[in-house]
Amino acid sequence: MSATTGIDTRRSPSAATVREKIPVVIVDEHSDFARIIANRVAELIREKNARGEKTVLGLPTGSTPIEIYRELMRMHKEEGLDFSNVVTFNLDEYYPMKPDSIHSFRRYMEENLFNGVNIKPENIHFPRGDVPREEVEAEAERYEQAIRDAGGIDFQILGIGQTGHIGFNEPGSGFESRTRVIALDTLTRRDAAPDFFGEHNVPLEAITMGVATIMEAKEIAILATGEHKAAIVKRAVEGQISPDVAATYLQKHPNATFYLDRAAAAELTRVATPWVVSEVTWDRELEIRALIWLSQTTGKSLLKLDALDYRQNHLSSLLSRYGEPGPLNGEVFNALLAKIRGKSRLPHGERIVVFSPHPDDDVISMGGMLNKLHENGNDIIVAYQTSGNIAVFDHEVARYLDFLRRIDRDFKLQDAEMLKLIDEIE
């Protein structure tokens, strides 16, 4: 662990990482691995530029790589990082999808990277989502050939979906698969629903690089953030290779690394249950975690855990600290009990600000707490962290503006202020 960056850079085999079948770097903050990856990309570009060679990058979309792209744009602007000899291939695109759609990955890349650096338009490649159905197979082969013509991908950045997909290689994708059209998994479409104003608007298919295409990259970085990715990360890193989870194929790559924030790494054995794979230095937080895990593993309540339970489940060292389980069982039980807050232990008569990413997140996540705070006479202010400017389709806005115009005309309202506002919006 670096004391200055908070980055866990342990990659060599050790007792703690014995169950991990692919190198893993764990960082404290999303911005940490964004900086690591951006620096690696910049290093590669500078090395290749110095030799007069092209740098070929494989790029993803989504929320996870945005900070990487911002850092690369900063490097271009402030440090002169030259993208004129960089060639890019994006992993995938929805099908069908027009390139100028607000939902297209081309538009995403233009807004989040390409418009902020000096990359040549002819060096930017996407699988086309606007070709007729009968031309899709030829488009896929064209894309594969373009990658070969560029000399292959030097550095491939990947995300990982909740189904374990890389690119859009959903469960069932084979190791030898190439660029093709694929039907999207229900969970994948559900995850994309907020960007499309509802799951029913998410395309049913996508064009994606295949597993074999991805595996031919010389170096691969796989990114994951957030606790919602923890389960599939564990499966990809510690599980058996299986077509059910395409990310497990990456275990076969000689130069692939997972970059995780602590939330995404939370279910890895060395993080979730480190006492199972190595000696640990016990503190109260770790003791509480261990006893909760032991209770769940044995199916017994905290106060009924006995010495045999400790010994049979890798917790002999913890038992030896206390001599017998009773005192620790009781302390952990009381510590958990103290976390339950009734109205009497909550603020009274205060002004409280709640930050909510979307207008329903507050009541979904803490509705009961909000009610208790209200009953205690607190002044509650909710700050919604979205403007709503893309909450509906443009054609829906146009339809309602037309409706207002008709109302003004038919009822002879002659509301000049409203008509002026309509003109400004249109």
**175: which 2 tokens?**
């190791």
How far, in Å, CA of 370 to CA of 217, rounded? 50
The three-state (H, E, C) secondary structure of the chain, written as one string: CCCCCCEECCCCCCCCCCCCCCCEEEECCHHHHHHHHHHHHHHHHHHHHHCCCCEEEEECCCCCCHHHHHHHHHHHHHHCCCCCCEEEEECEEEECCCCCCCCCHHHHHHHHCHHHCCCCHHHEECCCCCCCHHHHHHHHHHHHHHHHHCCCCCEEEEECCCCCCCCCCCCCCCCCCCCEEEECCHHHHHHHHHHHCCHHHCCCEEEECCHHHHHCCCEEEEEECCHHHHHHHHHHHHCCCECCEHHHHHHHCCCEEEEEECCCCCCCHHHHCHHHCCCCCCCHHHHHHHHHHHHHHHCCCHHHCCHHHHHHCCCHHHHHHHCCHHHHHHHHHHHHHCCCCCHHHCCCCCEEEEEECCCCHHHHHHHHHHHHHHHCCCEEEEEECCCCCCCCCHHHHHHHHHHHHHHHHHCCCCCHHHHHHHHHHC
Q: Which residue has the tokens 């998410």?
A: 202
CA count, 13 A, side-chain hemisphere, 181: 19
Catalytic residue among 67, 71, 170, 267: 170
Residue 170 annotated to the active site: yes
Q: Which residue has the tokens 């855990």?
A: 305
How far, in Å, CA of 310 to CA of 322, rounded? 12
Encode 39-54: b = buried (16+ Cβ within 10 Å), e = exposed: ebbbebbeebbeeeeb
Q: Which residue has the tokens 């606790």?
A: 227
Amino acid 137 reads E
Q: Which residues are catalytic?
A: 170
